[in-house]
A = this chain, B = another copy of it.
């Protein structure tokens, strides 16, 4: 059993609007255990639409159409569906009475065009709309059903929840779903896939998808189905564990958490705090650490010392070290980490200094060179050199992620 979604409306083909209904429907279908196989967006052209609907109804058991059910000239979904399925349309007197009543209550007049909304595919059942005037339709097809829903999310969602979901549940194979997400950092997507592919490649259940969330953050999604939720979870977890063994410490979450959340939780669990001193990331590390609620538990504060004199006055960097090694160096990263820890009174200090570009490259220090320093309660400050690629934003995000990961590994 499989589903397709067709979103109708010229406005969805412009540069501004995206089809958000399909996200809601995709989630609902996944919960029902009906895989979504295709989405399409079409303008309100009857001929095109009819061809697309006919093809979808040949391929899929469940075809959901959104939009084009209103009273205006460009609402042509019902006409297209009639043509696609070669079904007659009937004017429904009950629907007309309902519409007259509704229009009357609002003190408006009924126009002839409004009656388009009372045209029903002959074998279809109405889906009531408690919010707007456009009715939905549930029409049997040779393979399953065609479901016509109104475009506005505020009308579509309650209609689906109350009238479509229960009907689909009766059609869908009895199955429970469960998923597991592994979040990985420090490895490129291709390397994650090289290690994971031999394990998931020939496995259809659980299904596996690899998603590059941000440059240094890759997620593996495992979705399993079984007769009970518990069995599905065991299936997903078993494959995830096997993949995790291949990825080692690069996996930082099994629950879809961000790296900052994982670091925050580890600090909070130890009752420890962190402070940061940032140069090239300009506050982005502090912003990431304070993105989640409750960060005051583990985050003391930070200094953004973009200029060299502020590195001295705010973070206690030694002017002689700046002169000897330059601001982008391991020694300065260490001194920034130490300064953040001591001056802001935290258990851990992190220092970042680097060249985010596009300008600023030096001999042996190309754009993307970043030093990250870490200073903890037990051992002296240390620093690592990194090289990030891409434009300024990617380099900055890469440095923030690497700093969080460095701290995470020392908290493990």
Identify the A interface with B (CB < 8 A).
10-20, 22-24, 26-27, 30, 36-43, 48, 52, 70-74, 106, 108, 111, 113-114, 131, 133, 152, 154, 188-191, 193-194, 197, 201, 207, 209-212, 221, 276, 278, 281-287, 289-296, 299-307, 309-310, 313-314, 343-345, 357-359, 389-394, 396
Contact: B209 with A16, CB < 8 Å?
yes
Q: Nearest chain B CB to A255's CB is how many angstroms away?
A: 15
Contact: B303 with A302, CB < 8 Å?
yes
CB within 8 Å for A209 and B11 given contacts A19-B18, A389-B106: yes
9 contacts between A and B (CB under 8 A): A13-B36, A14-B27, A37-B48, A74-B210, A283-B302, A284-B290, A290-B304, A292-B392, A301-B305
Contact: A393 with B287, CB < 8 Å?
no
Contact: A26 with B40, CB < 8 Å?
no
Contact: B282 with A190, CB < 8 Å?
no
Contacts of A114 on B, CB cut-off 8 Å? 190
Contacts of A359 on B, CB cut-off 8 Å? 293-294
Contact: B303 with A394, CB < 8 Å?
no
Contacts of A52 on B, CB cut-off 8 Å? 38
The A contact surface, by secondary structure, is mixed
CA distance A310 to B314 in the complex (A): 12
Contacts of A306 on B, CB cut-off 8 Å? 290, 295-296, 299-301
Contact: A300 with B310, CB < 8 Å?
yes
CA distance A142 to B302 in the complex (A): 60
From A215, which residue of chain B is reached at the shortest CB distance? Answer: B154
Q: Which of B17, B41, B300 contacts A40 (CB 8 A)?
A: B41
Contacts of A391 on B, CB cut-off 8 Å? 131, 154
Q: Nearest chain B CB to A190's CB is how many angstroms away?
A: 5
Contact: A303 with B296, CB < 8 Å?
no
CA distance A188 to B201 in the complex (A): 48
CB within 8 Å for A18 and B20 given contacts A304-B303, A310-B344, A359-B293: yes
Contact: A314 with B301, CB < 8 Å?
yes
Q: Nearest chain B CB to A393's CB is how many angstroms away?
A: 7
Contacts of A393 on B, CB cut-off 8 Å? 291
From A73, which residue of chain B is reached at the shortest CB distance? Answer: B197
CB within 8 Å for A211 and B11 given contacts A281-B287, A290-B282, A293-B392: yes
Contact: A39 with B40, CB < 8 Å?
yes
Contacts of A302 on B, CB cut-off 8 Å? 283, 303-304
